[in-house]
Structure formats: C-alpha cells, structure tokens
Amino acid sequence: METLGFLLHGFAQALTPTNLMFAFIGSVLGTLVGVLPGIGPTSGIAILLPLTSFLPPAPAIIMLAAIYYGAMYGGSTTAILVNIPGEVASVVTTLDGYQMARQGRAGPALAIAAISSFVAGTLGLVGLTFFAPPLADAALRIGPPEYFGLVILAFSVVVSLSGASLVKGLSAAALGALFALVGLDPMSGVRRFAFGTTTMLGGIDFIAVIIGLFAITEVLLSVEESARAVSLAALGKLMPRWDELRRCVGTMLRATGVGFFLGLLPGSTPGAISFIAYDLEKRVSKTPERFSRGAIEGVAAPEGANNATTSAGFVPLFALGIPATPALAVLLSGLMIYGLQPGPMLFEKQPQFVWTIIASMYVGNVMLLVLNLPLVGLWARLCRVPYAVMAPLILLFSVLGAFSVRNNFSDVGMALAFGVLGYLMVKLGYPTAPLVLALILTPMLENALRQSLSMAHGSPLIFFTRPIAVTLIGAGLALTAWSLLSRRAPQ
C-alpha cells in the first residue's frame, strides 16, 4: 500500500504541465533517435545530456529516460520498413517485420510493434514499481558463472536461427565470434587479430556490422531484383486483425516475462534478450515454419522483450546504482550531475524524485502509443516510395550511421565490407542473424568464462557447484538438443 501511495504521489508530480512537456519532448526525440540508424539510445542520451543541464533534476531525468525508452519504440520502424534496425535491439524485428512489409503488411507490423512495446513496457514498469528493491538484491547475487550459464542459454538460439543448414548457421555464428575478438583484449590488454594496424585496435563496431549486414546488403539485393518499391501490394488494413491480436496476447506476456527477468541482470543487453524472446516464441508456436516469413508474433516478441528489458534496467539502476546497459550508464552520469547517487538509499532519501520518474515512465509509454499508432499509416506508405528514391536514402543513412559511431571513415569502410559479406552470405545460403547474435554474446561469454575460471583457480568445476549456473547451462543444452531433434523430425 505504501508503494501505491508513493506511486500516486509520483503521478501527481509527473502530470504537472512542465514534466508532461519534457516527457513528451523526450518521447519524440527518443522515437527519432530510434528511427535514425547509427544514432542509438546511448549516443542519443549523450548528445542531449548537456542540453538538459539548465533544467531541474526531475524534468531532465524524465526527458532522458523518455529518450531511452522512446528509442526502443522507434527502432522498430526502419527495421520493419526498410530492413535497417534503428538500434541493436531491433535486429530480430527485421526477420519477420520486413517480410510483412514486403507482403504489403507494414501497417499491422508497425501497429503490433507499438502495441507490444506499450504492453510489455507498461507491465515492465509494474514490475519496476513493486519488485525493484528485492529483485535488485537478487540480481546482485549473480556472478560470472551464472552469466556464463545465461550466455550459453542465449547461444542455444543459434540452432533455431540457422535456417536450412545447421553447419552454415554455426559457421555464421563462428564468424561473428571471430569479429568480436578483434581489437584489444579487455582483460589483459593484448592485441588480438589486429594484424599490426591501429585502426583495428578499437575493435569492430557493432553498428557498422549491422548497417553493412542489413542495410547495404538489402539495397544490393533489391537493386539486383530491380525492385520498384519495398511493397507494391495494396496497403490494406493498417491494424492487425482480431485473431492476430488475440494470438499475440500470449506472445506479449511471454516476451514481458523474458525481457523483464533477464533484463534485471546487469550486462544482459536488450539486443541479446530480444533474440531469446523470438526463439521462445518460435518454439512454442504450433506453426514455427511461419517465422522469418512474416509471422506477426515474430515482431511482437522482440519488440515486447526489448521494452520490458528497458523497464527492468531501471531496477538495478535505481536500487543498486548499477547500469544494465551503456545507455543507462550515460543516464546514471546524468543523475550524478544532479548530485543524486542511485543505490539502496535513493528510495529512502529521494522518494519523491524516484517515484516521479517511475510515474512519468507510465505516462511516457501512453504518449508513445498515442504518438506511434496514428503514424502507422504514414510510415507504411513509405514502403510504396519508388526504390530508386529509397536506395540512395538508405545508403546515405548507412554511411552517416557508420560514420557517427566514432566520427571516422574506417567504420564506414567496415560497413561497406560487411555489406559485401552480407550479400555473399545471402547468396550462398548463410543466415546473418547468428553472426549478429555471436557478435553480441561472445564478449559476454569470454568475460564470464575467464572470470569464473579465475575465481576457481582454473577449475571448470565451478560451473557445476553453483545451482543457478548449472540450471542455466542445463537449460541451454536442453534447448539446443530440442532444436536439433526438431530439425530432424520433418526429415
């Protein structure tokens, strides 16, 4: 009851005209940050952080938080319309979202992305409201062996993302793992796979990879087919059908559960979690063969999961002062600028501030739904713009997106190289999604593995002495076996 009282008081503050205005500005800017490829929530918050310095703490943090969750909403738009993930968490959305757009169903895809984001984001906030302190405490007990188990579980997704050939899917994942190792080793500082050059020392940036593999590859493939537009099919209904919405209810709830609980763990990114949610949905579906061919659940699951993860990330941030993602780390610095030290004492010392921010996030989620749903028709019409106009625009945004990562042209060159690699992979029947997943997971896997071995003085038995780690590793192996058996069944 005390929590509800605090929350109601937070709403009273969040609904003041000033705070409402900054939540709105943040939501709009966040949507824009999500739509523009290359400018993710982290750089979006970092760019706009200095602009909020003239504001009091509450409106400033309300605006920065709204940019963060707004970017999660906006990232799906270009993923669905032109196969460019606006941010990392939307990579999975391209698998079915873009297929739906090609079939003339961009409207329902965009609408379900907005609805699923709203439902999962709001349910995630309910979790944040009621379970923040105890859940954050539990998350703190998770160490490197448990993270290793979590990454093994996430890696099991590779099998179901492999498409027709398991060997080709695993080869793509191995390539992703190799690219993840390029640069300075974060633990020992030694150079790996840098071949004596300084440009490779900073590693291969993720944004350059996804821009190359998704945007540039897609343009090359479309140019080859001399595509006239993404979709020439009639736009038809812009909202999902009732039966689709009903089917997606379970999807959204499952995605919320996966996104929220895994999102509590610091270091587990929305990008990796959206893959897990997508895989879960494919596994529970009676018709998994529809996935990657325009299944509406394939859009609802990753979009729901990444928004639930976004809400969950605020739990360790507020309760423990631990940012779960790089974007939250920038937000944390924003809090510290105002002399607010997140941690167990924040709820006690600054209850009005914390509950105002949490309440404003409920309001912001409603704003995003209201902002995004009416725009569905407008966005969907973009699919009918002639491809001769879209192609230069997509390539231009790709160059700008890759350049914006570190403001240098070596990342642009990297994106071009990955464009060629992606094109060849598609032509030769290699799926690109396992490469992306391995690129995200390998640094986490390596850190967790090495830290665990270090903790146990080199003994791998540590993974079998920790119940949560054993359970997660067992679940990962079981899911891999299940996927392998399911692949054999139709034959």
The footprint of other proteins (CB under 8 A) covers 39, 47, 164-165, 167-168, 170-171, 174-175, 177-178, 181, 185, 187-188, 190, 192-193, 216, 219-220, 223-226, 386-389, 391-393, 395-396, 399-400, 403-404, 407, 409, 412-413, 416, 419-420, 423, 427-430, 442, 446, 449-450, 453-454, 458
Q: How far is the CB of 47 from other proteins (least distance, A)?
A: 7
369 vs 437, which CB is nearer to other proteins?
Answer: 437
89 vs 438, which CB is nearer to other proteins?
Answer: 438
Q: How far is the CB of 370 from other proteins (least distance, A)?
A: 25
Q: How far is the CB of 484 from other proteins (least distance, A)?
A: 14
70 vs 107, which CB is nearer to other proteins?
Answer: 70
Q: What angle do CA 37, 43, 48 make, to 5 degrees?
A: 115
In sequence order, which residues have a C-beta less than 8 Å from that of residue 129 and are 6 or more positions away?
A: 3, 7, 358
Q: What angle do CA 367, 304, 153 make, to 5 degrees?
A: 150
Identify any residues that bridge with 184 across adjacent strands, giving them in sequence order. Answer: 191
Q: How far is the CB of 412 from other proteins (least distance, A)?
A: 5
Q: How far is the CB of 313 from other proteins (least distance, A)?
A: 25
Q: How far is the CB of 55 from other proteins (least distance, A)?
A: 20
* Widest Cα–Cα separation across the chain: 65
CB burial class (10 A; 0-12, 13-18, 19+) of residue 457? exposed
Pairing of strands 191-192, 183-184: antiparallel
Which secondary-structure segment (H or E) carries 422?
helix 409-428
Which pair of structure tokens corresponds to residue 384? 């009918």
Which pair of structure tokens corresponds to residue 430? 């290699």
140 vs 170, which CB is nearer to other proteins?
Answer: 170
Residue 118 CA to residue 103 CA, distance in Å, equals 25
188 vs 198, which CB is nearer to other proteins?
Answer: 188
36 vs 258, which CB is nearer to other proteins?
Answer: 36
219 vs 359, which CB is nearer to other proteins?
Answer: 219
Q: How far is the CB of 429 from other proteins (least distance, A)?
A: 7
In sequence order, which residues have a C-beta less than 8 Å from that of residue 414 and are 6 or more positions away?
A: 204, 205, 208, 209, 212, 402
